[in-house]
Structure 1
Amino acid sequence: MTGNHAADTFTDQYSFDLAAGSSVSADLFSYSGNAKNGLDITGFGLYSSDGTLVLAGTQLETGKTDQWHLQTTGLSGTGYYLQVEGTVLSRAAGSYSASLAVTPVPEPATYGMMLGGLALVGVMARRRKQ
């Protein structure tokens, strides 16, 4: 990018799919040399693929460092995206980083295999007693 983009706004979206019942935990950080350089993160949210806001992130810190967090459970098995919104503060470079942890729910076949394994262990234990 060239030129002065101070006061320009941006919106970035990161799409992904989840299994039904999954949970999401995400953190976003932006560091500016001072409050007048870099980026000011103004929004962080989880949206369903149809554009419906599922959960707005919570701003934990602002200023030299912007920090946001969001966490939710029991999501349906549809597409989602994280959206990051902000303002460019000056001509100086700015960046942000995010981490996303997804906890999937086991497939029904996994439960079946686990129950089958437990039954097998029970049969083996009963044979040893006799």
Structure 2
Amino acid sequence: MNKLASSLILATSLAASASLANAAQIEKQSHINLNGGTSDLGASFSAKDSGKTFLENFTFKYSGLFALSAATISTALGSDSALDLTNFTLSGNGHSYTGTKSTVGNTQYYTLDLSNLTAGKYTLAVAGTVLGSRGGSFGGNISVSAVPEASTLAMMLGGLAVVGFGAWRRRKSDKASPSNGSGLMPA
């Protein structure tokens, strides 16, 4: 009886490990180079990945306040090439932001628009499941732009106020002085 019980336990363990191996998550880490403030991102999966979940992490650093706009898209081509995108998240500096998902027909996409992000290291993560019998793919883009710091903005507003005050004084002095209609002052 002991031999039968140990054989049953061994068979169950092997079956469980086989199902875990087939359902294993595919994880990949990539660094994004933001030359000119933009970069593309994406991944492709093959037939051997069918039925597996995936997590693609794209990391980047930014040194200053910035705004970010990112999107990813996947189009299913029947049952041959298809993904189910389940998450699109930006995390960094103790914060996490989740994108908005939309589906139109066989196309699903996520968008993410953020502003006033602080300098630091960030990770843009795309997660999902490979549904296609031959795999699937997704592609996307990320764009970042600098946001002026508060002191820069204050200096700019101060400069505009000085220019505005100067224009106001000039207009006031032009109204106070008589003119002969030609725009010239009388002699």
Q: TM-score, normalised by structure 1?
A: 0.71
Q: Which runs of 5+ in 1 are unaligned?
A: 120-130
- Superposed, which structure 2 residues align to 1:89-128 within 5 Å? 89-106=131-148
How far apart are the structure 2 equivalents of 1:68 and 1:35?
21
Q: Which runs of 5+ in 2 are unaligned?
A: 1-44, 163-187
Higher helix share: 2
For CA contacts below 8 A with separation 6 or more, give which structure has more relative contact order.
1
SS of corresponding position for 1:4: helix
- Superposed, which structure 2 residues align to 1:57-68 within 5 Å? 57-61=99-103, 64-68=106-110
Counterpart in 2 of 1:15? 59
Counterpart in 2 of 1:126? none
Counterpart in 2 of 1:80? 122
Larger radius of gyration: 2
Counterpart in 2 of 1:128? none
Counterpart in 2 of 1:45? 89
Q: TM-score, normalised by structure 2?
A: 0.53
Letter of the structure 2 residue corresponding to residue 37 of structure 1: S
- Deviation of residue 99 (structure 1)? 1.0
Contact 2:116–2:147 at 8 Å: present in 1 too?
no
Counterpart in 2 of 1:5? 49
- Deviation of residue 93 (structure 1)? 3.5
Number of residue pairs matched by the alignment: 127
- Deviation of residue 34 (structure 1)? 2.2
1:54 and 2:99 aligned? no
Higher strand share: 1
How far apart are the structure 2 equivalents of 1:99 and 1:45?
14
How far apart are the structure 2 equivalents of 1:53 and 1:36?
37
> 1:75-126: CA deviations, max 9, x gaps?
11111110000101133131111111111124778x97xx89xx9xxxxxxx
Distance 1:102 1:76, change over 3 A: same
How far apart are the structure 1 equivalents of 2:107 and 2:139?
12
Contact 1:4–1:90 at 8 Å: present in 2 too?
no
Distance 1:35 1:26, change over 3 A: farther
State the identity %.
28
| C-alpha RMSD of the superposition | 3.1
Contact 1:18–1:80 at 8 Å: present in 2 too?
no
